[in-house]
Amino acid sequence: MINLDFMPSKPIARYTMRLFVTRTLAVLASLVLILMTLDLLGESGKILSAPGNGQAQLWHYVVLRLPLLVSRFLPFSALLGTLIAFAGLNQNSEVIAMKAAGISAHQILAPLILASAILGVVTFAFNETIVVHSARAVNAWSDADYGPVPAESDVLTNVWILDGSDLVRARQVIGSGASLRLEHVTIYERDRGTLERVLDVVRADQLPGGGAKAGWMLQGVTSYDARQGVVSHYARAAGLKGADPMRFTLAKVEPTEQDFWQLRRSVGELETAGRQSDEARAGLWHKLAAPFSTVLMPLLAAVAAFGLARSGQVLLRACIGMALGFTYFVVDNFSLSMGNVGIYPPFLAAWAPVFLFFLIGETVLIRTEE
């Protein structure tokens, strides 16, 4: 009679889930510790070179970067954790004992897939509540050369727009709607591609009636005339008359810095404004696909669980499982890049690697064990 039960017995399910979770978390902790140390070594010089920064700022950087590393490397840790757990089960002939008891390969995998699905849900919630805020804060701080950053939560950094033939760079875009303001702005005024004047502005506020119609009030202006070589200073001046405030908020839509619902609104605003939204839409779908990839890892690593340990192929099988996992991450990054530039449809760019490697994992498992 065919055993149609999805899960094995409760003791076996608890045992394999515990092995998977403990080894995944152990690998994740080790990876994050090593990568955080290397990252801090690379950035500590830049952080300490900013005036007023010290040990407290180094720890602040660590606090901001840790959630990003945890989110990025959790699926990879799940892959390695599964390989370690399966290699141990195989080496101790526990897999053979389970199969001798009538438990199929899919039933052996079922508790791990359930545990990885729970980890995926936790990862999605973690990304939406913590990672997006950390990404926004660390990117703003990095773009400010680790100097002071405004306390507002809705801060965009290093935004470029094209205003007619002029280039405008706003190092900080703060607020939204009528309260939106620009800080540390550089305006490159050009005539037929030739640079005529460069304006360095401390702050730009919208004039009554809207920035696109009434322009902006520029404060703390330093003007350099490229033709005459003359530098002038103004306390205030009007400018950027054609620059709609929405253009600054839509010029840089970073999926990693926005939660799912906020990014969905940004996609709608981009499409309403007639702007390219492929990158934002691909990032939107990838917010769902990336946590779901954790569910794939036990399936891709399952090749290490089966086969006779005494045949001497446990290491070879573990390497094959690791190669499948590495290949998935490479294909996922490649597909997302193709979606960002509009070559792949956004939905396909985010979900195609998941479905492709699900089919590969199932094919390998069924052909070899079922």
**What span, in angstroms and rounded, lies between the C-alpha atoms of 75 and 122?**
12
CB 135, CB 257: distance < 8 Å: yes
Q: 156: part of which helix (H) or strand (E)? A: strand 155-163
Nearest to 136 by CA among 122, 121, 151, 119: 151
Using one digit for the tens of pLDDT, what is the confidence trace for 318-363? 788 888 888 999 999 999 999 888 888 999 999 999 999 999 888 8
Residue 251 CA to residue 65 CA, distance in Å, equals 25
pTM, 2 dp: 0.77
Per-residue pLDDT band at 155 (split at 50, 70, 90): confident
What is the structure's pLDDT at 2?
42
Q: Is the model's pLDDT at 22 over the cut of 70?
A: yes
Give one DSSP letter per residue of 227-252, joined into a string.
TTTEEEEEEEEEE-TT--HHHHHHS-
| Residues 313, 315, 317: CA angle, nearest 5 degrees | 65
Q: Which residues contact 268 (CB under 8 A, 6 or more apart)?
A: none
Burial class (CB in 10 A: 0-12, 13-18, 19+), 311: exposed
The C-alpha angle with vertex 37 and arms to 32 and 40, in degrees rounded to 5, equals: 115
Q: Is the pLDDT of residue 264 over 70?
A: yes
Binned at pLDDT 50, 70 and 90, residue 245 comes out as: confident
Can you give the pLDDT at residue 5?
A: 62
For 167, the enclosing helix (H) or strand (E) is strand 166-174
Q: Quick check: 126 pLDDT over 90? A: yes
| Residues in CB range of 350: below 8 A, 6 or more apart | 282, 285, 286, 288, 289, 335, 336, 339
244 φ, ψ to 5°? -70, 135
Confidence of residue 160 (pLDDT cuts 50, 70, 90): confident
Q: Is the pLDDT of residue 108 over 70?
A: yes
Averaged pLDDT score across all residues of the chain: 83
Using alpha carbons, select from 85, 75, 80, 91 the residue that is nearest to residue 108.
85
Pairing mode of beta strands 216-225, 230-239: antiparallel
Give how far the C-alpha of residue 58 lies from the chain's centroid of Cα atoms, to the nearest Å.
22
Q: How far apart are the C-alpha atoms of 272 and 245, rounded to whole Å?
A: 15
- Name the least confident of 126-140, 184-198, 244-258: 244-258
pLDDT of residue 313: 67
Closest CA to 216 of 194, 235, 243: 243
Arithmetic mean of pLDDT, 269-288: 82
pLDDT score recorded for residue 3: 47
pLDDT of residue 171: 83
- List of residues 6+ apart from 309 with CB closer than 8 A: 90, 91, 92, 93
Amino acid (1-letter code) at residue 326 = F
